[in-house]
């Protein structure tokens, strides 16, 4: 990927275990640590997070690094199935169980036996069906619709939702007993806007992916484009980023990635980027310009760290690695240990 640098995960062990999960922000690392802890157990996991934050990827990662990985990973999106069919999708039915049941059907719990069942959008399971789900989670047994024969299964459940289940419990829309049963090990995925340091690596990853798919080559991402991508709030999170990069790769000419965002100009047009050719240079330029824009204030709500979505200590560490220091120190602002004036080399 050459010209736009290597912003992948620095931790080689994590890289091997979670190679599809790009990013090495503190927030993502904390999530992956939880994944590594819970995966080998059989405990139920509840993944919460905004749309597009990677809940399904995390669910698959839990299955892949668990001892169940040789057995099926079965997925059911509870929001995508009409309510009257959901029960049969989960537990199966016998021929003639209801109008239209022209043949016997195996449900997802049976299909996932010895493996993992991923119930996506679990907040959409209707109240009437919730006791039956609670029973199978507690007893690992159920009956197909239209049958009195009890089936025993060994299924590990991973559930996900972008709805606020505690609020739903308070409003009486979700049973509290089922909520507590699901919430054994909650994992909360942070939105992309609160882990902006992952954006350059994700951009590089998706540029690579779509270039390979489309047989194109991108040699250059301008610092302005990268800055715009790093500043955007990403309401659709990683899915939105992925789709915008796909569009940008389609529109790219002469090896340059165009800015796919609708409003290209950053708010502060006093920001001027020095010429930069690699993504690492771009990161340096982004930090430098943000520091200049906020008068070299590092911490606090209006400081550069908050603007860049970084912890204060992470920003200081990056500045030291990049050799960024304030030209003239003064006043009450933060002092960074002196470092060489202009080295450009960056090692993550
Ligand atoms: N850390 C990551 N690295 C690389 N790709 C990611 C990462 N997180 C998410 N993605 C990609 O972003 C897209 C959305 O992820 P996913 O479907 O897991 O989100 P979700 O949280 O389940 O969203 P929704 O709530 O809308 O179902 C997928 O294509 C996924 O591969
Ligand atoms: Mg999903």
DSSP secondary structure string, 153-209? ---EEEEEESS-HHHHHHTTSS-HHHHHHHTTEEEEEPPGGG-GGGHHHHHHHHHHH
**Is 67 exposed, middle or buried (CB count within 10 Å of its CB: 0-12, 13-18, 19+)?**
exposed
- Residue 53 lies inside a defined structural domain of this protein: yes
Q: Are residues 187 and 234 in the same domain?
A: no
More reliable by pLDDT, 291 or 185: 185
- Residue 155 lies inside a defined structural domain of this protein: yes
Is 343's pLDDT higher than 70? no
Specify the CATH number for the domain of residue 213: 1.10.8.60
Q: Please provide the DSSP assignment of 243-304 as one string.
A: HHHHHHHHH-BTTB----SSS-S-S-TT--PPP--SHHHHHHHHHHHHHHHTTT--SSTTSH
312 to 119, 197, 199, 234, 285: CA distances (angstroms) = 38, 12, 18, 22, 18
Q: What is the pTM of this model?
A: 0.74
- Residue 10 lies inside a defined structural domain of this protein: no
Q: Which of 73, 204, 238 to mutate to test the pocket of ligand 1 (most atoms within 8 A of CB)?
A: 238
Is 268's pLDDT higher than 50? no
- Residue 335 lies inside a defined structural domain of this protein: no
Q: Are residues 184 and 227 in the same domain?
A: no
Q: How far apart are CA 277 and CA 282, in angstroms?
A: 7
- Residue 329 lies inside a defined structural domain of this protein: no
Q: 60-74, 82-96, 147-161: which has the minimum mean pLDDT?
A: 82-96
Q: How far apart are CA 246 and CA 154, in angstroms?
A: 40
Q: How far apart are CA 102 and CA 255, in angstroms?
A: 56
Q: Which atom number of ligand 1 is nearest to the Cα of residue 58?
A: 18
Using pLDDT thresholds of 50, 70 and 90, give the confidence band for residue 112.
very high
The chain-wide mean pLDDT, for the chain, equals 84
Q: Are residues 166 and 275 in the same domain?
A: no
Last residue of a domain, one of 191, 213, 246: 191
CA of 52 to the centre of ligand 2 (A): 7
Percent residues over pLDDT 90 in the chain:
58
Q: Which residues hold their Cβ within 5 A of ligand 2, which is an ion?
A: 56
- Residue 132 lies inside a defined structural domain of this protein: yes
Is 23's pLDDT higher than 60? yes
Identify the pLDDT of residue 98.
84
Can you say whether residue 314 is alpha, beta or left, with left for phi > 0 and alpha for psi between -120 and 50 degrees? alpha
- Residue 242 lies inside a defined structural domain of this protein: yes
CA of 190 to the centre of ligand 2 (A): 14
CA of 255 to the centre of ligand 2 (A): 33
Q: Are residues 314 and 292 in the same domain?
A: yes
Is 276's pLDDT higher than 80? no
Is 115's pLDDT higher than 90? yes
Structural domain count, the chain: 2
Q: 92-106, 146-160, 252-266: which has the minimum mean pLDDT?
A: 252-266
Q: Is the CB of 200 under 6 A from ligand 1?
A: no
Q: Is 331 helix (H, G, I), strand (E, B) or coil?
A: coil
Q: Are residues 156 and 207 in the same domain?
A: no
Q: Are residues 164 and 232 in the same domain?
A: no
Specify the CATH number for the domain of residue 79: 3.40.50.300
Q: Is the CB of 57 under 6 A from ligand 1?
A: yes
Q: Which of 18, 23, 54, 213 to mutate to test the pocket of ligand 1 (most atoms within 8 A of CB)?
A: 54
Q: Are residues 178 and 57 in the same domain?
A: yes
77-87 tens-digit pLDDT: 998 888 778 99
Q: Are residues 37 and 180 in the same domain?
A: yes
Q: Are residues 181 and 222 in the same domain?
A: no
Rounded to the nearest angstrom, the gap between the alpha carbon of residue 171 and the centroid of all alpha carbons in its chain is: 28
- Residue 333 lies inside a defined structural domain of this protein: no
195 to 94, 237, 338: CA distances (angstroms) = 48, 10, 28
Q: Are residues 162 and 46 in the same domain?
A: yes
Domain encompassing residue 295: 195-322
Q: Are residues 63 and 157 in the same domain?
A: yes
Identify the pLDDT of residue 102.
83
Q: Are residues 212 and 265 in the same domain?
A: yes
């Amino acid at each position: 990927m050459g010209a736009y640098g290597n912003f992948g995960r620095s931790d080689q062990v994590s890289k091997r275990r979670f190679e599809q999960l790009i990013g090495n922000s503190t927030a993502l690392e904390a999530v992956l640590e939880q994944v590594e802890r819970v995966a080998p157990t059989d405990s139920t996991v509840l993944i919460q997070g905004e749309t597009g934050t990677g809940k399904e990827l995390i669910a698959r990662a839990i299955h892949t690094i668990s001892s169940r990985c040789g057995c099926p990973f079965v997925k059911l999106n509870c929001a995508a199935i009409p309510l009257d069919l959901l029960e049969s999708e989960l537990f199966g039915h016998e021929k003639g169980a209801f109008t239209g049941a022209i043949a016997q059907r195996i449900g997802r719990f049976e299909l996932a036996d010895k493996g993992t069942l991923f119930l996506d959008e679990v907040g959409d399971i209707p109240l009437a069906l919730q006791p039956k789900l609670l029973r199978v989670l507690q007893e690992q047994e159920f009956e197909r619709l239209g049958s009195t024969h009890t089936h025993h299964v060994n299924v590990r459940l991973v559930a996900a939702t972008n709805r606020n289940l505690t609020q739903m419990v308070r409003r009486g829309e979700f049973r509290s007993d089922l909520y507590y049963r699901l919430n054994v090990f909650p994992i909360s995925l942070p939105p992309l806007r609160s882990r902006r340091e992952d954006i350059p690596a994700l951009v590089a990853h998706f540029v690579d992916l779509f270039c390979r798919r489309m047989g194109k080559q991108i040699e250059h991402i301008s610092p302005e484009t990268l800055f715009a991508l790093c500043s955007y709030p990403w309401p659709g999170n990683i899915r939105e980023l992925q789709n915008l990069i796909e569009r940008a790769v389609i529109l790219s000419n002469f090896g340059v990635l165009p800015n796919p965002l609708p409003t290209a100009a950053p708010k502060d047009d006093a920001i001027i980027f020095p010429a930069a050719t690699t993504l690492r240079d771009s990161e340096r330029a982004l930090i430098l310009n943000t520091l200049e824009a906020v008068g070299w204030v590092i911490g606090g709500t209006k400081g550069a760290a908050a603007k860049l979505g970084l912890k204060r200590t992470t920003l200081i560490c990056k500045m030291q690695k990049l050799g960024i220091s304030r030209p003239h120190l003064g006043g009450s602002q933060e002092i960074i240990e002196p470092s060489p004036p202009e080295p450009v080399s960056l090692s993550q």
